[in-house]
Structure 1
Amino acid sequence: MVVREDGIGRRWTEQEVALLTELYPLTPITELEAKVGKTAGQIKNKAANLGLKRDQSVSGATRFRPYPLGPSSHNWVEPGERRDDGRYIRVKLPSGKWVLEHRWVWEQANGPVPDDCVLVAEDGNIRNTTLANLKLVTKDEHCRRNQVRKYPTELQDVILAQQDLKRAIREKKS
């Protein structure tokens, strides 16, 4: 085996192994390189072969500057901030998750939306997220409402009223 001037290719001595075993769990790699006289790669390989583990407080440390998180980041958005994507308005929760504002408003007042239902806007504008404008309808009702949209607005109200009347009659019979 050829040994270079920087020590690469040199076998580990018993003293180096003992020093590595003692210092590896809590000492940063850069300090270990200086104390043991080996490269970071050699240290990590030897530690893996010996089954040594790093302490959690040190294992996250890197040579690189951590990416800034939180308000100091250039693209940070405060919780509660709203975004309008042209169709819906989304609001950022404290957890960091973005949710549809109309759905969030409904769920704060009435609890979760059931799986067989959807939220619709009474005035047809889902970006109007006031609670009075939101209505919970079944998915079947939602389909019927959307089929009616192809007719002129004068007929839409009449057709929807007729459907409501038919549904009320069916429920009365059963």
Structure 2
Amino acid sequence: MVVRKDGIGRRWTEQEVALLTELYPLTPMPEMEAKVGKTAGQIKNKATNLGLKRDQSILGATRFKPGQESYNRIEVGERRDDGRNIRIKLPCGTWVLEHRWVWEQAHGPIPDKCVVAARDGNRRNTDLANLMLVTKDRHWRRNQIRKYPAELQDVILAQQDLKRAIREKKS
């Protein structure tokens, strides 16, 4: 094993383990690093392996005071626009696509083989009147013809639906 000048790669001695066990609960990390001669990461890893816990009084010094909130706290219901989709934060802490959430609030869960699509093609327009439920196959076909003018897209989709109906009748 290669041992670097900073001690990384060197095994813990019995004295270091005893010192860590004694100091870990109540000693601030910078002071512990100096006394033990290990980095904060090494100390935390060894303490975890030994099952050592920090005293809450030492942890309290680095946490927020009562009533104080993080500067980057994100409230429930907050919206984020990533340029392609809008996401909304739910009370459980997860983020969901807003167009899916809007649809589910109005119509219930989305079936497995379906997706929520925007009538105007803009997923960021989450107005319920603009949303529709389509099969994944139809959604794929709609996206394949986006390069054509709107009038031609309607004709192509109608033609594809007609062909599908004919195939289904034959079988």
TM-score, normalised to structure 2, is 0.60
Aligned match for 2:159, one of 159, 162, 165: 162
Report the residue type matching 2:108 in the other structure: N
How far apart are residue 71 of structure 1 and its match? 7.0
Q: What amino acid does structure 2 have at the position aligned with 1:111?
A: P
CA shift at 1:73, angstroms? 1.2
What displacement does 1:90 show? 1.2
In structure 1, stretches of 5+ residues that fail to align are 1-11, 18-23, 31-38
Q: How does 1:1-174 map to 2 (within 5 A)?
A: 28-29=26-27, 41=36, 58=55, 61-62=58-59, 64-66=61-63, 72-108=69-105, 109-114=107-112, 116-174=113-171
The answer on whether the counterparts of 1:148 and 1:156 sit within 8 Å (CA) in structure 2 is yes
Query: Structure 1 59/121 Cα, relative in aligned 2: closer, same or farther at 3 Å?
Result: same
The higher radius of gyration belongs to 1
Letter aligned with residue 153 of structure 2: Q
Distance 1:88 1:70, change over 3 A: farther
CA RMSD across the alignment: 3.9
- 1:79 offset after TM fit, Å? 0.3
Q: 1:142 to 1:152 in 2, by over 3 A?
A: same
CA contact (8 A) 1:29 1:40 kept: no
Q: How far apart are residue 118 of structure 1 and its match? A: 2.5
Amino acid across the alignment from 1:110: G
Change (3 A) 1:58 1:112: farther
Q: Are the aligned partners of 1:107 and 1:113 in contact in 2 as well (CA < 8 Å)?
A: no
1:169 offset after TM fit, Å? Answer: 2.6
Q: Secondary structure at the match of 2:137?
A: helix
Any conservation in 2 of the 1:118–1:142 contact (CA below 8 Å)? yes
Query: Percent sequence identity over matched residues?
Result: 58
Asked if structure 1 preserves the Cα contact closer than 8 Å seen for 2:85 and 2:97, the reply is yes
Alpha carbons 2:27, 2:58 under 8 Å: kept? no
Deviations 1:56-115 (A, max 9, x none): x8368437412579972111121011122332111111122221101112233321441x
- Which structure 2 residue ranges, 5 or more long, are not aligned? 1-14, 29-33, 38-42
